[in-house]
Chains A and B, each alone.
Chain A
Amino acid sequence: MSTAPDTLEDMLQSAAAMQESGRAVLRTLLRMGDVAVGTSEKHCVYSEDKVRLYRYSALARTANLKPVLICYAMINRPYLLDLQPDRSFVRELLLAGLDVYLLDWGYPDGADRFLGLDAYIDGYLRRCVEFVLKEQAIDSLTLLGVCQGGTMSLCYAALEPKQIARLITMVTPVDFKTPENLLSKWAQHIDVGLLTQSGNVAGDFLNLVYLSLMPFRLTQQKYVNLLQLQGDRVQLENFMRMEKWIFDSPDQPAAAFREFIQWFFQENRLIRNELTLAGRPLRLENVIAPVLNIFASKDHLVPPSASIPLGAHIGAKDYQSLEVDAGHIGLYVGGRTRKSVPAAVSAWLKARR
Chain B
Amino acid sequence: MSANPFSAGFLKAWVAQAGAFQDMFARLLNQSTAAGTSSTPPLFDPAQMFPGAPALGMSREYQEIAARLLDLSRQFQQRYAEFAQQNATIMQDAFQVLKKRLAETPLAPKTPADLYDVWIDCAEGTYNQAAHSEGFARLLAELCNISSALKIERGKLTEQFARHLDLPSRAEVDTLHRQVRALNEAMRAAASPPTKVSKAPRKPRKPRKRVKK
Contact = CB atoms under 8 A, between A and B. Distances in A.
A and B bound?
yes
A191 interface: yes
Interface in B86-144: 102-103, 108-113, 115-117, 120, 123-124, 127-128, 131-132, 134, 137-138, 140-142, 144
A195 B177 CA distance: 20
A125 to B, nearest CB: 15
Q: Categorize the interface residue count of chain A.
A: 35 or more
Given A7-B110, A11-B110, A216 B123 contact: yes
Contact of B112 (A14, A113, A194, A197): A14
Interface in B131-159: 131-132, 134, 137-138, 140-142, 144-145, 148-149, 151-152, 155
Interface string B170-189: 10011001101100000000
A221 B124 CA distance: 11
Contacts of A234: none
Nearest to A213: B131
A189 interface: yes
Contacts of B116: 221, 224
B137 A18 contact: no
Given A114-B178, A220-B120, A7 B108 contact: yes
A340 interface: no
Contacts of B123: 216
Interface centre among A11, A110, A217, A228 (most CB of B within 10 A): A11
A115 B177 CA distance: 10
Contacts of A111: 177, 180
A2 interface: yes
Contacts of A217: 120, 124
A135 interface: no
Given A10-B111, A14-B111, A188-B137, A114 B144 contact: no
Contacts of B149: 194
